[in-house]
Structures are given as structure tokens and as C-alpha cells.
Structure 1
Amino acid sequence: MHNTFTSTKATVGLGLRRGLMTDLLAARDDDVDFLEVAPENWIGIGGAQGHGFRALAERFTLSCHGLSLSLGGPAPLDVGFLREVRLFLDQYKVPLYSEHLSYCSDDGHLYDLLPLPFTEEAVRHVSARIAQAQDILGRRLAVENVSYYAAPQHDMDEVAFTNAVLREADCDLLLDVNNVYVNSINHDFDPQTFLAGLDSGRVVGMHVAGHFDQSETLKIDSHGAPVKPVVWSLLAQAYARFGVQPTLLERDFNFPPFAELRAELQTLRRLQTEAMSRG
């Protein structure tokens, strides 16, 4: 297995979903550089799915993107789960573990990624929890900017809030370019200004995905459709701002023939090549 994250940042990835298992096992080695998994979905998995997972882990670098840590939540962090994740990351030599800058649980899991208020109190709360998670994991954590539809209290804008968390927690950013676009339409801000305001040295990876056009003023982050041209364009601008970073094509359902996903991955490679040629 080649560790693509350490050899070059010009890499493209795809989420390892059970609905894509057969296609990924049959994929060419040059179709994709890394596979992203939610560790909670694969820790201890057995049977045919576990066999397929281990076969893919031998061929491709794994990146981990968690779903249930609830970094911004009110309940104590699940220390036992974090220790399991650390063992998983070590076992598969995972170079990047990321989670969402949001919360998803209190007394139980809410099965949604809910936005945090953009306040100083929230900065202190989530930053302390990220720092605690990093201590248990023994490595840096990247947090992802999330899409949101209801806006909690905003004493500052999203860029200021995100930068404050990154600095206070001393963690990294997984930049979801589609979420930037979706939020820019739903909350009426300029996406280029958003990118320009982020701390440039914190971005260690990127996501792109398709979204659903509910209306001209409402976009839904669906992960169930091809990436739209406006998001490809914004990704090119993100490369110009932050440099080329490992980039994941997110597709969670409505899986097309694998040839269509391969074509989107090739678009990613082309944008990375063009960005590097421009310096």
C-alpha cells in the first residue's frame, strides 16, 4: 500500500460505502488514490463486508471522517470510542482523521449534524473538546465546515468562528467546498470572500459533492448527485487560495455507473494539475 497523503497532496479519493464495495474491489489502482471511511461503521466489522474492507485497505490509503463524535455537543466526549478510533487509525496507518464542526448527540444520537452558535462561549466549548480528543487520539484532528439551514445565535460570522476554533484548539480544517457554496446561497454571503477569510495554513484536505436545488435560494447538501459546475469552479478557487490538497468526491447514495464516478475523479485530477501548473 502506498501512503498517498505523505507522497503528494495532489490526490483524489472516494468514500467507501457499502453500495460501492463491488465497484471499488473491481476498480483500477489508478482510479482513486485513497478511500475515506467513517471508523464507527467499520470497527470490528466481520463477514463479507469486513473481508472486502480489509482487501481495499491493503490496496489503498484510508482516510477517516467521523460521524458521531459530536464535538460541539453538551454530553461528555465518548472516551472509550475515541480509544477504539485511535487503535483503528494506528492499525490501518490512517494519515488523516476528521470530524464535523457541529454536534449530533445529547442523551442519544440525533442522526443529524446540527450547527453550533457562532459565539465566544461556543468557541471555548468546542475548542476544549477538540483539544481533549486530540490528546486521547495522540494526533491532530481536522474539523469540517458543515452545511446548515437554521441559524443559531450569531455573534460573529462563520469565518470568524471557524478561525477562532482552529486557533484555540490548534487543529486543522477539512474544507468542504460544496458546503461553502450551499451555505453561501442559503445564508446570502459571497463564497469567494469566505474562502479568502479562512486561515490558509490550516487546510489539510477538501471535499466536493453534489447538492439538490430546492429553489434559487435554497440548496440542500445531498451527496446524491453529480458535482455542479459552480462547485467545480469554487474548488479551483480553493486550490488557488490554499494549494492543492487531498480531495474527496462525496457520494453517499443514488450511485451511478462507476464510469460516471471515474469521470468526476478525472475532473478532480485535471483541476489539481491545472492548479499546480499555475503555481
Structure 2
Amino acid sequence: MGLGLRRALLDSLNTAPAGAFDFLELAPENWIGIGGAHGAALRALAERYPLSCHGLSLSLGGPAPLDLGFLREVRQFLDRFDVPLYSEHLSYCGDDGHLYDLLPLPFTEEAVRHVAARIRQAQDVLGRRLAVENVSYYAAPRQDMDELAFTNAVLAEADCDLLLDVNNLYVNSVNHGFEPQAFLAGLPPERVVAMHVAGHYDQSDSLKIDTHGAPVKPVVWDLLARAYQLFGVQPTLLERDFNFPPFAELLGELDSIRQLQVGARQAQGRRAHG
């Protein structure tokens, strides 16, 4: 299980007890070319923990050409720090410039072909597989298919992997009225290579807002446990981007992930020895 490498957490991450977490995740665009004290802190943490990278600005579904110069910088960063996983959002975030938000794609065959071609191009430049993340969304521009069918079509057409965000899945299931367990059961297990969990805001019984600024809800823990049953124990990130609690509380949530992983491995062992 891992934590996001946020600058507000640098001191706590540096002094965390051994074994408190397994890896750190960062957005490469926030750290490429950073020197000084923050650059030194990154290098020191990278010597102690494996890094995972989760991008924010590639705009895989956008209309503008991919930023190949940025992709080459990302590849150098991944190579430098021996990063095993680079993921991005199955969305877009701008055209001629960044909108600083993750916008939903239309669930259409045309969008499948468009985003899959861009994922393949990105993988060629990166020299490695890319994992795409299912995103939370609140209005769909067009839906000729449901989110599960769209996601599976992109994964197959692009031949890429999936970073399963369990909180996003739950938020979307409430906001758009589908069964989250059925969504999980419909995903191809061989594509799921990592997971995210986070907190959300209950605007109402029928509207949930993905915030990354609150503790993980019990229903999301339950979905994570089910995801481990279906896909095995995958590297799992606890996302927290603001409203940080005392670090001990974050470690407590990490321990919840650890307990679910231990339970899933034990259940897998019992099934194997049937």
C-alpha cells in the first residue's frame, strides 16, 4: 500500500517508521526538473521507497496532439527513478492549454478509437505499458454505451492496463445509477494492475463528490475487499490531496488496506489448498 508524495507531507514521510507504507506515488509533471530542497527530498525518498507515477496533464482523450516533448521527459524521469508503473486518467484536461480539471469523454465508438490510438502512441514514446484510471464524472457528453463497456473497449483496443479507482467507481455508481459490484465483475482481471482508494463528500443520498479530502468510507472499503477477491492483491494507493489529518490517521487508513490485503491473501491460500 502507498501514499501520495505531497509536499505538505514531506516531513512526515521522511520520518515515517519503517514498514508504514510500501511505495510513494507522485505526478511526474509536479517533480520533473525540480531542484533545491524539494528535489533533494525527492531523491532521498526515492532511495528508500519505490516510486509510482500518476499523471495529471497528458489529456489522453483530448483533441490536441499529444505533447511528445513532455512524454519524452516523463520517460527520462521514469527511467531515472526506475518507476515500474505510469498511469493516467481516462479523460481529457484541455485543448490548446490546460483546463486544470479532468473532463469526461463521450462513451462512443469514435471516442474509443480516438483515445485508444493516443494511448498506443503514448506507450510507443514511453517504451512501456500505460495504465488508465477510471475517473469520476458528473455529466456525460454522450453515452452510446455504458461506462463499463467503454472502459473495456478502450483497454482492448489500446492494449493497455487499468488502474482501478475504487472510490471513483462507487461515486459514479451512485451518481449514475448502476451496480458497482457488477462493474467490478465485468472488468478483465488481467488488465487490473493497481488500485486507488480515497474519501468523498456525501452531497446527498444520490450525489457523491470525489474530493480526496476525507477519510475512506466503509462502503469503499467493502468494494476494495471485493476487488481483491476478483483481481488479487494489487498495489493500492491511499489518495489524500488536502485537508490532511494528523499523519497517524493516514497510517491508520493504510493499516486498513494492509488488513484487507492480508485477509485476501489468506482467503486465496485457503482456496488454493481447497
TM-score (norm 2): 0.97
Name which of 75, 90, 100 aligns with 1:86. Answer: 75
CA distance in 2, matches of 1:209, 1:257: 16
One-letter identity of the residue aligned with 1:242: F
Give the 3-state SS of the residue equivalent to 2:82 in structure 1: coil
Map residues 116-135 of structure 1 onto 2, 5 A cutoff: 116-135=105-124
Matched with 1:144 is 133
**Structure 2: segments with no counterpart, 5+ residues:** 269-274
Spell out, residue by residue over 1:5-61, the C-alpha distance to the aligned partner (whole angstroms, 9 max, x if none): xxxxxxx00000011111001111200100000000000101111111111111100
Per-residue deviation at 1:105? 1.0
Matched with 1:7 is none
CA distance in 2, matches of 1:183, 1:29: 36
One-letter identity of the residue aligned with 2:38: Q
Matched with 1:42 is 31
Matched with 1:197 is 186
CA distance in 2, matches of 1:80, 1:265: 36
Spell out, residue by residue over 1:228-269, the C-alpha distance to the aligned partner (whole angstroms, 9 max, x if none): 100000100111111110000000001111100000000000
Matched with 2:255 is 266
Does 2:54 align with 1:65? yes
Higher relative contact order (CA 8 A, sep 6+): 1
User: For the aligned residues, what is the CA RMSD?
Assistant: 0.5
Name which of 94, 102, 107 aligns with 2:91. Answer: 102
Does 2:32 align with 1:32? no
Give the 3-state SS of the residue equivalent to 2:66 in structure 1: coil
CA distance in 2, matches of 1:126, 1:96: 19
TM-score (norm 1): 0.95
Matched with 1:56 is 45
Give the 3-state SS of the residue equivalent to 1:31 in structure 2: coil
One-letter identity of the residue aligned with 1:253: F
Name which of 230, 237, 256 aligns with 2:226. Answer: 237
One-letter identity of the residue aligned with 2:87: S
Per-residue deviation at 1:220? 0.4
CA distance in 2, matches of 1:149, 1:120: 21
One-letter identity of the residue aligned with 2:212: H
CA distance in 2, matches of 1:31, 1:44: 28
Matched with 1:75 is 64
Does 2:209 align with 1:220? yes
| 4+ residue segments displaced more than 3 Å | none
Give the 3-state SS of the residue equivalent to 1:278 in structure 2: helix
CA distance in 2, matches of 1:228, 1:99: 24
Percent identical across equivalent pairs? 77
Name which of 124, 129, 147 aligns with 1:158. Answer: 147
Per-residue deviation at 1:114? 0.3
Give the 3-state SS of the residue equivalent to 1:135 in structure 2: helix
Tell me the matched-pair count: 268
